[in-house]
Structure formats: structure tokens, C-alpha cells
Structure 1
């Protein structure tokens, strides 16, 4: 197993972080964090390069963790050129452990396999791992960032400059929606054997499981990558690659106000893109989607009707007593009431208020069987529908 553990540090990281360097970094972060992210969005046909949507596509913004797409590009290229393998162990420097979250929490002097580094960057978006990769391939992160920039320009990302491998705040680290779309397209075309990593939903490492930050991938049909990004100065960024109906689109959103808003914008501009290139396919897809949603709504309604039953196990003078009794009923008849919910319903009885102890969310048959079982334990029980209509009562 190949191992990389000797790092040839060069300026500006010859020594541990000094006061001047620390101050410079803090200043850069403060300046960046008070900048205003500019909204930009872009959609292109991955096969033809045809632009389907463009808003502020050439405005330079902070890429945030979209930067890690370029870090992965460099890593994939190094593997392709047989400089390293997926099993190569990369040494963790002390400087890597100093990176702020998100991070994997690696220890200085330890090692991480190249393939695990890929998973960590795709799912956890780990900043410490980005530094490990940078130092393993470039000697120092600064030298690696220069190599990233040079390579980015070579593939047509002419308005992009990198200063680190992670996307952490730096005034000089800038890119555009158009450039990031080019990068996403290059990753898909150049490295089909490695692009599959971007589909990863969950990844386990040393006893912990990490989920992918790209939640839209679960919701948007055909999306199989690529990367999310966020710093305060950038807002919420996302590059997506979607294959639907034999067409692949690359979408980019910069400067979302929230992750949900960014995802909604991405879904909307991708839908418009598919409609432009294949309106018949999109119309058929929307028709199928509406039919599926209607079917699902019917199934949910049927499920609600089937579980619209419950049992009442008494009325009490306090909420606490009512809830305690409802919980006790579930424990006494777990075969029928397991998974049900307790509910306390107030009732004014004359000048006094009493609280009914109920267990809700079960099927009719289970409700009757639960009451039968509770009766044997000398527990008063009444079956009712969710609207509160009494159906039967088991007396003591």
C-alpha cells in the first residue's frame, strides 16, 4: 500500500502558524464574512454545452465548499496518472488538524486513505481532509491552490482563482456560476469511474456515519451529484448534475439565503431547462409525477382512515395523571398499542375540568383487541373514532 507521509513545506507555511499569519487569516475571514453574496444561477446542457438559463453567470463570488470539486478533480487526475492509488495513505499534518469545521477530526501524524478522503470531501465536506489532500499532492496547501488555479484555467475556468483546497473564507478565492458549471461537466465527462462517488448518500468511517449535505439529491428525480457549499460571505451554493429522459443538465446556484431556498431555486431552473430542450418529455414527466402524487395522497388518506381509531382509558383531574395512565395502557397492551400516540383531551364537566386519557393512531381491530386485553386487567376502556365518536365501552 503506497503511503505519502513526507510533506515538503514551502512558503508561506514553513513554520507553525505565527502571529502575523494568524492575524492575516482572521482579517481575511472578517472581511469575507462581511461581504455581500451575489445571487447567480446557471443551467447548461452537459452534452452540447448550450446555455439554458443564466443570471449573473459571470459575476465573481466566493465558491465556499464548491472549491472541493476542484480538489477532487486534482485528486482524480493524480489517480488517473498513477501518481497515487485509492489505497494510498496520506499523512495528516498538524496544520490540517487546525482547520475549522466542518471536519473529520483527524489526529496529527495519522493517515487517511485516498478513497476515504474522497468520501469525506463528498459527504462531510471535511476541511481538514481537504488540507491533507492538498499537502499530499502539492507539498503545501498554498502550492496546491496555485496548481488548482492553473488547472482550472486550462479547462476554461478563466475567472476562477483558488487560495486553498477547502473553500474557507479568503478574499482572493473567487469563481463564477459559469465556471463551476464547466467544472461539474468536466468531472462527469473526464472521470466517469470516479464521478459515482458524488452519488454517495451516507459514508461510515471509524464507527461514525456521515450523511451527504446535498439533501436535494433525494428529492429531485435524476440528480446524482455534485456538491453543496456555504460560508456566510457566500450564502448557500450548489452545483447539480441531473440525468433525466436521456438528457444531462448541469445547474449552479450561488448566494441562496437558506438551503431550502437554494434547493427550490435549483429545482425550478432545472425544470425550466428540461422543458426547453425536451418539452414533450417534461410534459410526460409532469403528468406522471402528478399521477404519482395523487396516488400517494389517496394512500395517505386511506392510511389515516384505517388508523383513525383510539382507546380512552379514563378521565382525571390533572393532565399529568391522564398522560401517565395513557402511557401505562400502551405498556399493558403493547401487542395492539405499540407505535400509537398518547393524547390528553380536556373536557369541562360542569364547573370542573377533567382530562381524558387517550391512545390514538391505531386500526379499528387493534383498538377493540386492546380494550379487551385491558378489560382483563380491570382497566376501564372505551373505543372511539378520531373525531371523538364513542363506539363501544368495556366496563370493569
Structure 2
């Protein structure tokens, strides 16, 4: 058996065997701080499992599985090569334990169990996962399995892997916070340490994923937050795990050094990456849309609201059924602050209930300093499952949006700045001034 696996690994002739690539971006804006062979084709190895986790998080969000749902370990899953938990065929594992096994142990057997539960077979899951990530903007990625075990056709780029982690943090901030930073995972009395040895050793590094196969070299995708600013650093094709980790530390530190100079400065942003990275999460059943606004999938359903002209009172111009009790709200504000509105906003979360979305946004806005004036904006995506109501704060300058995210993230809430070029054209579902 050992000879078979050795021969199998040697038979893989990768597209760019262990070729080095690196990419560092601002997780909020997609601004590029470092790129080296970032769009060259490489093998993802176990970074594949970040996409598998995204599919699982989406299934949780849509109610198709729960954290206590049991996943069956099939004979195919049990036959996977290491690393794995080594669970016998016919055994069951909960979704929660599966998440932890993927994040920490990088368990190939568990990855297959997730794939088979969600799609019936691993092959079908790989096809669906490829389709999904391409909808999300990963144009150069092709999956043939759920775990990243050797397959010469399974390819990606450093830029796509950075974008993937960015999307996980954006779409599922709570799952990311609860699981990706775990240093260990205990299953059946055995403690499994996280393969990401940078956790707890690098200032602000709060999660990520490692990967290795002979064809790829040592890969890693990490997220680091300092002073409210978050960078995603990807290194592919490292010579050793230690070399890879040191490279991540160096690139991340350099990125934060450059942050003040380059943050939110469009002339430093690769425009193609900016367009794709700012595409919001889209329903999996809908085709990819070309968009020139921050909420492309929602614009057809948006109800127009006149931009308020009064400097004394403002109320929503159109009511939402679930917000009828709010339609008569009148709030005082000063003319001076009214004139300081900008075309930038920040997204702070997605919710199943419109009232919850509004109240969360309103509470966060109330915590901002008096010199920062904004509005609550709730947008609705026409989808039957998931969290259709997006909560945003709008009406900021880009400098204010940056400051708002810094303040909000200190409160423990993920925050994503965006520029709405059509803000003055009233493409807003509903907006209420609350100061």
C-alpha cells in the first residue's frame, strides 16, 4: 500500500509544481498590497477545505443542516489518505465536529463526509463547489475533490485563495470567529493541534488554513487584524512549512506598514480585483451578474427612496411590510451635518428579519462619535432562504467609512466599507436618519 501511494504521488505532474506565489490584500476593500505570480495557476492542496467549509456554512445558513446534524463516514471517506481522523466506515460525526476537524486537523475523511452529505457524492459536490465559487468571483479555480488531495486538474491562484478567505469572513463572520482561530480540537479523547502554527504567535492573526501536497509545496492563507485593519495574506509553494510561515509574517508586517499610505487609495488598487472582491454574496441558484454597484443581485428588487432634503426631519418615503411600525419615525439633525454626507457606506451584517437588521445597525450608529453622521440602510435580496436583509450604514466620506469600520470592529462586529457610485441616484431600499 505504501508503494502504491508513493507511486501515485510521483505520477502527479503539476501545472506549476510548487511554484511560488503570494498575495496580500485589504480584507475590507480588496486593495492589493503585494502580488507575486498572484494569477499564476497553482494547486490549492488543503486550502480547498476553505471552500468546502463555505459550502457547509451556507447549508447551515439555509437550514439544510444544523450543527448537531450527523454526517455518515462512507467507505470512500474512510479510505482517504492522511491527514484524517481515521473514523471507521459507518461511523457518524456531527457537523460541528466536522467543522473543527476541517479547520484544525484538515481531515480528508471528514471533508468527503461533508461533500457526500450535501451533494450525494464527492464528484457532484466538487462540481457544485466550483460553480459556486465562480459565482463568487473565483474565476481561475477548478475543484475535482473536496479536500485538496492530489489531482492534477485541481487548480487555483493565490489571488483566488485570498478572495475565498475574504468571502468567508464577510459572509460568515460568526463561524469564522468561532472556528478558524481554534488552536486545537478534541475528538474521542484525542487532542488534534491546528496545523496553522502562527495562531497565537503573530500579533492579530486570528485564523486561516494551511495546505501541502508534493505538487503544490507548502501553502497558507491567513487573516490578521491590527488596529481595526484586516489583511489577508496568501503564500503558495513554500519550500518548507517554516519558510512559508516566515514569509507570511514578513509580508503581513510589510502590508501593515504600508497601510496608512495606501488604504482606500484607488490608484493603488487593481481595478479588476476591486470589482470582483467587492461583489457581494449571491444566491447560489442565480447566475453570476455583471455589476456596477455594491449590491448587484438586489438592485432589481430595490424600492426607490427620495434622498431627504429637509435639514430638520426625515422619514422613510416607502414602507417595507416588516418595517411598517417604523415608517413614521422622525429624527432631528442639523444642517451642518446634513451637508457632510458622502458616497461611502459600510456593511455590518445580513439578517433573516428586517427589524433585527435595522435595530442592529441603529445601535451601532448610536455608538459612533457625534462628529460622524450617517444613515441606516436596509437592503433586501429576493431569496427564499438565508439572511435576505443586509444592514448598512451609509452617507460617509471614504475617510469616515474607514474610521467607522475601525470603531465597529473594535466592538467585535465585522465591517466592510464600500463606495456606492449611484448613491445620489437613490438606489436605496430604505434609509432612516436616526440622529
TM value normalised by structure 1: 0.63
Deviation, structure 1 residue 152: 0.8
Q: How many residues align?
A: 259
Inter-partner Cα distance in structure 2 for 1:29 and 1:80: 40
Point out where structure 2 has 5 or more consecutive residues left out of the alignment. 264-435
Equivalent position SS for 2:63: coil
Deviation, structure 1 residue 276: 0.9
Match runs of 1:108-257 below 5 Å: 108-196=89-177, 197-257=179-239
Query: Structure 2 residue aligned with 1:68, among 35, 49, 70?
Result: 49
Report what 1:343 is aligned to: none
Query: Which of the pair is proportionally richer in helix?
Result: 1
Shift of the 34–246 alpha-carbon distance from structure 1 to 2, 3 Å rule, reads closer
Render the CA deviation track for 1:306-362: whole Å, top value 9, x for unaligned: xxxxxxxxxxxxxxxxxxxxxxxxxxxxxxxxxxxxxxxxxxxxxxxxxxxxxxxxx
Inter-partner Cα distance in structure 2 for 1:191 and 1:25: 38
Does structure 1 conserve the Cα–Cα contact (< 8 Å) formed by 2:9 and 2:214?
no
Equivalent position SS for 2:253: helix
* Structure 1 residue ranges (4+ consecutive) displaced by more than 4 angstroms after TM superposition: 23-29
Does structure 2 conserve the Cα–Cα contact (< 8 Å) formed by 1:97 and 1:106?
yes
Instruction: Verify: 1:80 aligned to 2:61, yes or no.
Output: yes
Shift of the 135–280 alpha-carbon distance from structure 1 to 2, 3 Å rule, reads closer
Inter-partner Cα distance in structure 2 for 1:123 and 1:260: 18
Match runs of 1:42-53 below 5 Å: 42-53=23-34
Deviation, structure 1 residue 56: 0.3
Match runs of 1:1-396 below 5 Å: 30-32=11-13, 36-196=17-177, 197-278=179-260
Deviation, structure 1 residue 216: 1.1
Render the CA deviation track for 1:197-226: whole Å, top value 9, x for unaligned: 000001111010011000012211000111
Inter-partner Cα distance in structure 2 for 1:53 and 1:122: 26
Shift of the 194–269 alpha-carbon distance from structure 1 to 2, 3 Å rule, reads same
Inter-partner Cα distance in structure 1 for 2:172 and 2:16: 35
RMSD after superposition? 2.1
Inter-partner Cα distance in structure 2 for 1:93 and 1:131: 8
Query: Which of the pair is proportionally richer in strand?
Result: 1
Does structure 1 conserve the Cα–Cα contact (< 8 Å) formed by 2:15 and 2:152?
no
Does structure 2 conserve the Cα–Cα contact (< 8 Å) formed by 1:28 and 1:171?
no
Inter-partner Cα distance in structure 1 for 2:7 and 2:125: 21
Deviation, structure 1 residue 272: 1.1
Does structure 2 conserve the Cα–Cα contact (< 8 Å) formed by 1:33 and 1:169?
no
Render the CA deviation track for 1:246-273: whole Å, top value 9, x for unaligned: 1000110000000110011111111111
Shift of the 27–101 alpha-carbon distance from structure 1 to 2, 3 Å rule, reads closer
Point out where structure 1 has 5 or more consecutive residues left out of the alignment. 1-22, 282-396
Report what 2:318 is aligned to: none
Deviation, structure 1 residue 188: 0.4
Does structure 2 conserve the Cα–Cα contact (< 8 Å) formed by 1:131 and 1:166?
yes
Shift of the 26–148 alpha-carbon distance from structure 1 to 2, 3 Å rule, reads farther
